[in-house]
Structure 1
Amino acid sequence: MSRNDLPPTTPTTPSFLRTGLSRRGMLRAVGGLTLAGALGAFTARSAGAAPTVWNHPGGIHHPGDINRAKVKVAAGLDPWYSDWQVLVANAHSASTWTANPQAIVYRGGSYTQNYPILYNDIAAAYQNALRWLITGDTAHADCAAAICNAWSSTLTELNGNSDACLAAGIYGWQFANVGELLRDYDGFDLAAFQQMMLNVFYPWNHGFLRDHNFTCITHYWANWDLCNIASILAIAILCEDGDKFDEAVTYFQSGAGNGAIENAVPFLYTDDDGYALGQWQESGRDQGHTIMGMGQAGVICEMAYNQGVDLYGYDDSRFFKAAQYVAKYNTGLDVPYTTYSWGSGTNCAYNEQTVISDASRGQIRPVWAMLHYHYNRIKHLDDKYIWSMSNDFVGIEGGGGDYGTTSGGFDQFGFGQLMYAK
């Protein structure tokens, strides 16, 4: 594309999007960021090595993603423009959204469950940040920043029963990614936001991965580990903390719990058509949580990739095999299944699942576009089942509130065609 293809910019547009960039200019502007999404070039460092130069924004989106969405939306090209229309129509994307910060957020237990307030505000902050990044309209940046500033000046604690660990993980990685997108906006108090993430969310994430509430190491399902790994990784990027970055990546690669990739994908197969598949740890539980795992592991891989560490391809693309397995089964096809056993509680009581669960089979969650556009367009892998799940079942992805009002509808950000299509 030529410079003339770029939409007009204003002084309020983020600095990394203020000019039409040549390939060389984009490389300079992004500062060495992995540009596979925009340019098809990627060189991975040794796994687990924290960046020496951090890429910003470099969480689930990098400047190439944002610039591409900006260009395609301005040109009215699909699938970007169709997803943009879904974003604009979503009530959480309105610049008039008003934050409702809480001093203590409760999830689980006998407390009043106020955590939906948090996930609704995070969805609004994220979606307004996207509208600002793509159009330059500061009304949306002001809204997103106001939400973040209100929470960072109010929130002091997460509480509840063990479910509070889920809140710390899911809303931790999501909120940190909003901060990452806003980090160069004048109206955003980055320092206060970083302190909230470090002091309120990170201790829960770190503590859970360290001791799992003092239960058997296999007691918790993969998603519990994964969302907390994702939160630590997102906080590390937001705060440029190399130790936390390595903590997250190392756990994903070789941790003791079920979020470590070998434990999350315990059995590998090849189907009759020659496709490599990997049984997901929660497949015998239900498909809703299994598909949730595709989203939680996916954002870990995406964030690490945008800082130069290829977890998408780690262990001979083990996560890819799992995503193919989950997608194949949820599009109505048969997959092999090996009895899965584990220990639960504090005494590691024996449990087993002998068949794959059909509960919530085919559930629609907006997690597949990101996986398809990475594995198919960047790695050039034949992702037949992932593509079918994304294209034939989910379609154009929405976001907060488009998949129900309960927490499951907010476990992922969505808008995958807008931000990842290539």
Structure 2
Amino acid sequence: MSFDDLDKSTSPDRGPAALGSNLKRRRLFQGAIAAGGLAAAGAGGLGLAAAQESTEDVGALAVHPGLLHTQADFDRMRAKVNAGLEPWLSGWNKLIANGRAQSTWTARPTAVIIRGGDGQNYPQLYNDIHAAYQNALRWKVAGTTAHRDKAIEILNAWSNTLTAVNGNADRFLAAGIYGYQFCAAADIVRGQSGFDLGAFQDMMTSIFLPMNNSFLTNHNDACITNYWANWDLCNMASKLAIGLICDDNAIRDQAIDYFWNGEGNGSIENAVPFVYSGGLAQWQESGRDQGHSIMGIGLMASIMEMAWNQGIDLYGANDNAFAKAAEYVARYNLGHDDLPFTLYSWGTGQNCAYQEHTVMGAGGRGQARPVWEMVFHHYTARKGFAMPNVGTICGTNSPEGGGGDYGTTSGGFDTLGFGTLAHVRLTWDEMPDNLKPLG
């Protein structure tokens, strides 16, 4: 099975209630209806109220820019690159060498995108999304308006062309992965002259959001455990990002609630089912293979970073369970075999046929993916925790690139990347000596 071939088996309606057809083509602006606070149930030891305590007015509009990057992040990137400091300069050079980061990029907007089955054409979408993101990032660091204008051009072209995302079950992967990535790019140029925010919001709420809701509610009519964590996580990420880009707190809150309480494998207790002593935790897909395990680390980190930038701490959920899982996945992919593994069982298909993993899945072990800097620098630079395995894998893969630097197939575009430029906060020499153990 290739990295891009995920289980496509097809149970009754499970999960949070769908938003309903009345959300089609919906967008909210300043003065729109504000949602209530986040639900307080099932917060796994942290509590939604506590997780959000730094956000005093939950009815307020989202912070912009505030998906994967804030203005403070852009200011830091610009200052470090202008000063010629490492590793940010190497991260910058990695960005500007990418063919998608050029203002000469030619977009290929398409009315119907297909992922899975006959007529697949989805590389046109993911290449253009990464070109929009990379050009927007390049503008924010260097101030080059040609790159800003290219990002706007790409986003507007797709907003005014795309009508559907189709295919077999993989269409839900497309709706999730490319939904959150689209929003991350748009958030950077939001408010710039010429960017049609309304058309973009319409595209996200009429095409992507209904698919995200459908999957998180029904899981393609499969057993609730049939689909791996990645499937939930990408649709959770898209739903959260859409809530933020549309300043719609109801959508945002549903995504956050699913993180805590969702029945599928993307919720925190299902994605990290076994926590061990010594700062390690088993990831839900660890018995499957490492390509998908690393992909899952990147997706959950993106969800947590978007929430963090809005004043909501998901990183600390369940006593930093995600950090322990990241350490676990990183350690195995560094070549260590001294990790505990608990038998993991689940049901597949529509009838929940029994399956189990008894050992670690070695497929794709050691592959490079640009997911680690975001994780490492939250837990170390922001929170002061030691992450020796994630830190080592960061050093091994530095500088992180982005879409186009890790092959041409979709697996190389699952994360927007460029974490060395965007997420490094301290050099190795600046790291404090008294980092806390994860436990």
TM-score (norm 2): 0.84
Query: 1:394 deviation in Å?
Result: 1.3
Look up the match of 1:306: 309
Look up the match of 1:76: 84
Structure 1 residues 348 and 49, CA gap change in structure 2 (3 angstroms): farther
Look up the match of 2:227: 220
Matched, 1:358 2:401: no
Note the alpha carbon deviations across 1:235-283, whole angstroms, 9 max, x for none: 111000111101111111111000001001111112xxxx311100000
Look up the match of 1:33: none
Q: Tell me, what secondary structure is at the counterpart of 2:93?
A: helix
Which residue of 64, 70, 88 corresponds with 1:56?
Answer: 64
Structure 1 residues 49 and 405, CA gap change in structure 2 (3 angstroms): farther
Matched, 1:255 2:262: yes
Look up the match of 2:297: 294
Matched, 1:87 2:95: yes
Could you tell me how far apart the structure 2 residues matched to 1:143 and 1:46 are? 36
Runs of 4+ in 1 over 6 A off after TM superposition: 46-49
Q: Is the 8 A contact 1:50 1:246 kept in 2?
A: no
Equivalenced residue count is 375
Matched, 1:325 2:328: yes
Query: 1:194 deviation in Å?
Result: 0.7
Look up the match of 2:213: 206
Match of 1:102, as an amino acid? T
Look up the match of 1:185: 192
Match of 2:230, as an amino acid? N
The sequence identity of aligned pairs, in percent, is: 56
Matched, 1:347 2:354: no
Look up the match of 1:315: 318
Q: Is the 8 A contact 1:49 1:246 kept in 2?
A: no
Query: 1:52 deviation in Å?
Result: 2.2
Look up the match of 2:152: 145
Match of 2:109, as an amino acid? P
Q: How does 1:352-391 map to 2 (within 5 A)?
A: 352-391=356-395
Structure 1 residues 50 and 290, CA gap change in structure 2 (3 angstroms): farther
Matched, 1:102 2:110: yes
Could you tell me how far apart the structure 2 residues matched to 1:386 and 1:50 are? 33
Q: Which runs of 5+ in 2 are unaligned?
A: 1-49, 426-439
Q: Tell me, what secondary structure is at the counterpart of 1:377?
A: helix
> Greater helix share, 1 or 2?
1
Look up the match of 1:267: 274
Query: 1:51 deviation in Å?
Result: 5.4
Q: Is the 8 A contact 2:51 2:314 kept in 1?
A: no
Q: Is the 8 A contact 2:55 2:310 kept in 1?
A: no
Q: Which runs of 5+ in 1 are unaligned?
A: 1-41
Look up the match of 1:156: 163
Matched, 1:238 2:245: yes
Match of 2:401, as an amino acid? G
Q: Is the 8 A contact 1:48 1:249 kept in 2?
A: no
Could you tell me how far apart the structure 2 residues matched to 1:89 and 1:138 are? 18
Query: 1:53 deviation in Å?
Result: 3.9
Query: 1:46 deviation in Å?
Result: 7.5
Which residue of 125, 150, 163 corresponds with 2:132?
Answer: 125
Matched, 1:403 2:409: no
| Larger RCO: 1 or 2 (CA < 8 Å, sep 6+) | 2
Greater shift in the superposed pair: 325-334 or 148-157: 325-334
